[in-house]
A and B are shown apart, each in its own frame.
Chain A
Amino acid sequence: MTLMSYRQALHDALRSEMLRDENVLLMGEEIGVFEGSYKITAGLLAEFGEKRVRDTPIAEEGFTGAAIGAAMLGLRPVVEIMTINFSLLALDQIVNHAAKIYGMFGGQAKVPMVIRTPGGGGQQLGATHSQNIELYYAFVPGLKVVAPSTPADAKALLIASIRDDDPVLFLENLALYNTKGEVPNHDTPAVIGKAAVTREGHHLSLIGYSRMAHVAKKVADQLADSDGLDIEVIDLRSLRPLDRETVVESVKKTHAAVIVEDDWLTYGIGAEVAASISDGAFDYLDAPVRRVAMAEVPMPYSKSLESAALPSENDVIQAIYQTLEAIGHRRTKAGPHD
């Protein structure tokens, strides 16, 4: 184990996969000479050269599509799209091509490629640069969408994504790049499609992914210390496939759920998780499933407005208490439950 940042973990995963497999190459805007907008690829051009670390023109559709085509011939391109906002310019290639090629041709061509891209708000980047639109991709069969919240998962899931034979959208987060955690020194890939219970508990299930899984864990630890609450935290890690089983099993145990997400509430990832809980654990619920999500506005620039729009630790704590209070009411009426 080594203590390192999420950024370093991503860098190390890229580097070790490039050393392991000649077919792995990196493509994206400003990833070489400029060393990446968020410096994930720092030093890799110097080490691997222009053939394997390709600065592309500003042409998201063109270079993402080219990566897909290269993958069809067996290369394993890892594309960096500067932020997920710009992935919209490559939407056709990702949704109509990467996600379709394997099925549409009856399984004759695989697309082993990764699109790394950060979401995130809170950097005062305004409406066009602060979105969390991973849902657009999580909606599409044929794509895999992973969203690690810890440095260890960042490394293990990136390795898994590169070795996977399907197109993977790998969601990073601007606010996570500098967070630190223990990371195994070995290169064992994670299993895509599995959520992780990052804290066991029995009072309530707190469910999130990416930055909000990080926030959830922090809040749960804090409430354990301050109020003796025992909250179970689930990091979804994979948005497609979605590990409904782990979520539902947790809710069957805790009887209550709060879902926290950085995307917009209406039709968001949390809506799908809530619906899954309704399908799989309806009889076990003691309170309505709550969602804490971003305010439904184009993200404003000014700090006061931006902070108000983004879900905070306090918002999460409030939702937890309101949910527990609802259970408390029912408890006094119907007697002890758990």
Chain B
Amino acid sequence: MSDVKRNTRKSPTRTTAAAKADAAKRAERLLDFYREMLFIRRFEERAARGYTQALIGGYCHLNLGEEASVVGLISALRPTDYLFTNYREHGYAIARGIDPRRIMAELYGRVDGVSKGWGGSMHMFDLTHRLLGGYGIVGGQVPLATGAALAIDYRGGGDVVMCTMGDGTTNIGAFHESLNIAGLWNLPIVYVIVNNRLGMGTTVEKSSAEPELYKRGAAYRIESARVDGLDPLAVAEAAAHAIEVARAGRPYLLEVVSERLRGHSVVDPAKYRTAEEVASLKDHDPVHALAARLVAEGVSDDVTLAILDQEIMANIEEISAFAEASAFPDVDTLFDYTYATPVPNDSRRLPGQPLFATGAER
């Protein structure tokens, strides 16, 4: 975005050339976003299918409808910045560049999973890509992310932390305690509210006394803004600004107004949504909207996009084949991750085993 500003000051001929270059760059950027968004869309749809095939267990929350928010946000981070997120995080893991085969393998509970099969859908973690966790407890990641920002600040580093959460999460104490601390201590963190208008089935209006959620930053003197989460470019721009503020040493609160196309999790039929609401969802589909935009702006065409989709679908099939072929973790590893520092008398007893071997012999 800063390129645009700089170029406007150049001579007229260069301006036309630069404008052309900018347009090309923008087109390329939109296409990149589309590719990534469609990939997340197909990945999530495959995850939903894997769930119904009983290949995936537990809870499974999808980013369907949030694809533009996800890719826009992540595009603004440097590889060395940190991301903390919640249980609705497959898309974030993909956007951060983690091998999607390992993400799917985690869903399948296999050894090749990002968290070695210990975390599942809600608990993906990868240090190399600085995804410091999906967290299943609503709001749990918010103090942690704040502390990570404290560690960065403590060491005088230039990284920032991004911490995403849902709209419902802004009503939990940990959110308020964390923003207060970040505001007091000038921590380099961007709190992002992905407002999909629903907790599980409870609307923002029913759960937040101040439904314009970004305004909650004011209570902590934290700069904040609201952005259209269906437009990846707008999200990327807003996120870039937020991150700039954070890198300069002030926390930021960004509300991204997004959409949830399906139930809260895979098993939720979302019967609480009205027929009109459900009907309107197809107008709020960021993937379809961007496809239409790409075609309308002449950046791409239906055939090219269809081919891209086929490629992605084929890739997703390979990904789930990889996950399915990956082994389940060996039961021998059950006690490997209780403690990082080995400690005497740590119990390594399976449910049926006696505490004292001699007791059984007598």
Interface of A toward B, CB cutoff 8 Å: 25, 51, 56-57, 59, 61-75, 77, 92-93, 96-97, 101-112, 141-142, 144, 164-166, 191-194, 238, 241-245, 248, 276, 279-280, 282-283
Contact = CB atoms under 8 A, between A and B. Distances in A.
Contact of A104 (B119, B151, B336): B119
Contacts of B352: none
Contacts of B344: 191-194, 241, 243
B351 interface: no
B77 to A, nearest CB: 16
A93 B141 CA distance: 9
A62 B174 contact: yes
Interface stretch (B28-36, B126-134, B304-312, B320-328): B126-134
A72 B144 contact: yes
B152 interface: yes
A280 B178 contact: no
Nearest to A93: B143
Contacts of B148: 69-70, 72-73
Nearest to B154: A75
A142 B338 contact: yes
B140 A142 contact: no
A241 B345 contact: yes
A245 B184 CA distance: 48
B147 A70 contact: yes
A245 B347 CA distance: 12
A62 B143 CA distance: 5
B171 to A, nearest CB: 14
Interface string B78-99: 0000101000000000000000
Nearest to B113: A106
Given A25-B154, A70-B147, A104-B115, A59 B180 contact: yes
B273 to A, nearest CB: 30
Interface of B: 82, 84, 113-119, 123, 125-127, 132-133, 135, 137, 140, 142-152, 154, 173-174, 177-178, 180-181, 184, 336-341, 343-347, 354-356, 358-359, 362
B184 A57 contact: yes
A73 B130 CA distance: 11
B62 to A, nearest CB: 21
B147 A104 contact: no
B54 to A, nearest CB: 23
Contacts of B115: 104-106, 108
A57 B181 contact: yes
A168 to B, nearest CB: 10
A72 B149 CA distance: 11
Which 4 A-B residue pairings sit nearest by Cβ, starting from the closest? A65-B143, A69-B147, A62-B177, A106-B116
30 contacts: A57-B180, A57-B184, A62-B143, A63-B177, A65-B140, A65-B143, A65-B177, A66-B143, A70-B147, A70-B148, A70-B150, A72-B147, A92-B174, A93-B144, A105-B125, A106-B114, A106-B125, A106-B337, A107-B336, A107-B337, A112-B340, A165-B341, A166-B339, A191-B344, A193-B343, A244-B345, A244-B355, A245-B345, A280-B359, A282-B359
Nearest to B173: A61
A105 to B, nearest CB: 4
A29 B150 CA distance: 17
Contacts of A276: 355
Most chain B CB within 10 A, of A65, A102, A142, A193, is at: A65
A28 to B, nearest CB: 13
B343 A144 contact: yes
B137 A96 contact: yes
Contacts of B113: 106
Contact of B340 (A59, A165, A192): A165
Contacts of A106: 113-119, 125, 337
Nearest to A54: B185
Contact of B181 (A25, A59, A142): A59
A330 to B, nearest CB: 20
Contacts of B173: 61-62
Contacts of A57: 177, 180-181, 184
A231 B62 CA distance: 62
